[in-house]
Amino acid sequence: MRGTSIAALITFVILASVVLVLPGGCKQRWQATFVQTITPILKTGSWMRHGIKGMSGGFKKLDELEKENQELRTQIAELKTSNAMLKNLESEVNRLNRALGFREHSPFKLLPARVIARENATWWNSCTIDRGSATGIGVDMAVVTEAGLVGKVVNVAKDAAIVLLVSDEGLKVSVSIEGTQEQGIISGTRASSNYAPDLRVGFLSKTAEVKPGMKVLTSGTGGVFPSGVVVGTVKAFAIKELEGVATVDPAVDLTRIEDVFVITGTR
């Protein structure tokens, strides 16, 4: 292939030399013939140049498309983040609306408070709220959310108070089982760090018709907790040697407590 190219080049030089020494008329005829001969080659070269230029333009368009694609991916990621924030905001607004509605329609006088501290070692036992004696908080006041019972105040400072949670073994609450005549005492169980503890209602009769799904409410006995506050929902009922015992799911999600109400009286 290389030898053919050299031969063609030599031939081209010889022909060009001959054309230069020819008389005028012959030179013109030879020039015409020569141009006719090399025209296909010139056209091929021109096509190649256009093809290369076109490929270059194509590469440029690919770069632009890649840039646009990256910009679109960035915009999609930003939209997903914004959408997640809006969903969280909507959830928060709905929660606050439920709390506001509960406060407005509750038969109790409710003082709003926020949980400001909760230790890992006593996660299922207690929490600290940002209300104290300065706002009328006292020991043994019940603490609730719109979902149900949280616990009761056990220690009060001027601007803070400690709340013993319903999941603590030491908190005993007199309760009744909705739809029955049964009454008992509910308390927390020993908690595990891996899951929220169940509540258990003891001192129920062995013949009690307690079924899963029944609500457990404060009975009002003892005067600390007003009657009618939801404590939880029955999961199971078992007959022990001396009594019937119900296992109960807490009404309040004890894994996450943020805003609560302290019951300061009745309306």
User: What's the chain's length in residues?
Assistant: 267
Residue 136 sits in the same domain as residue 243: yes
Q: What is the DSSP letter of 196?
A: P
Residue 161 sits in the same domain as residue 220: yes
Burial label, 189 (beta-carbon count in 10 A; 0-12, 13-18, 19+): middle
The per-residue pLDDT string of the chain (267 residues; one tens digit each, 9 = 90 and over) reads: 445 445 555 555 555 555 555 555 555 565 556 556 655 555 555 555 555 555 556 666 777 888 888 888 888 888 888 888 887 777 777 777 777 788 888 999 999 999 999 998 889 999 999 999 999 999 999 999 999 999 999 999 999 999 999 999 999 999 999 999 999 999 998 765 567 788 999 999 999 999 999 999 999 998 899 999 999 999 999 999 899 999 999 999 998 899 999 999 988
Residue 39 sits in the same domain as residue 131: no
Residue 225 sits in the same domain as residue 112: yes
User: Per the domain annotation, does 51 fall within a domain?
Assistant: yes
Residue 250 sits in the same domain as residue 170: yes
User: Per the domain annotation, does 94 fall within a domain?
Assistant: no
Q: Please give the C-alpha separations between residue 61 and each of 7, 51, 57, 65, 116, in angstroms, as whole numbers.
A: 42, 15, 6, 6, 57
Q: What is the pLDDT of residue 235?
A: 95
Residue 54 sits in the same domain as residue 168: no
User: Per the domain annotation, does 68 fall within a domain?
Assistant: no
CATH number of the domain residue 138 falls in: 2.40.10.340
Q: What is the pLDDT of residue 117?
A: 96
Number of domain units in the chain = 2
- For residue 128, give its domain range: 106-266
Out of 21, 36, 58, pick the residue that ends a domain: 58
Q: What is the pLDDT of residue 90?
A: 75
Residue 232 sits in the same domain as residue 164: yes
Cβ atoms of 261 and 110 within 8 Å: the answer is: yes
User: Per the domain annotation, does 253 fall within a domain?
Assistant: yes
Q: What is the pLDDT of residue 12?
A: 55
Q: Please give the C-alpha separations between residue 151 and each of 145, 173, 196, in angstroms, as whole numbers.
A: 10, 9, 15
Distance CA 105, CA 116 (A): 26
Q: Please give the C-alpha separations between residue 215 and each of 3, 16, 74, 131, in angstroms, as whole numbers.
A: 101, 110, 49, 30
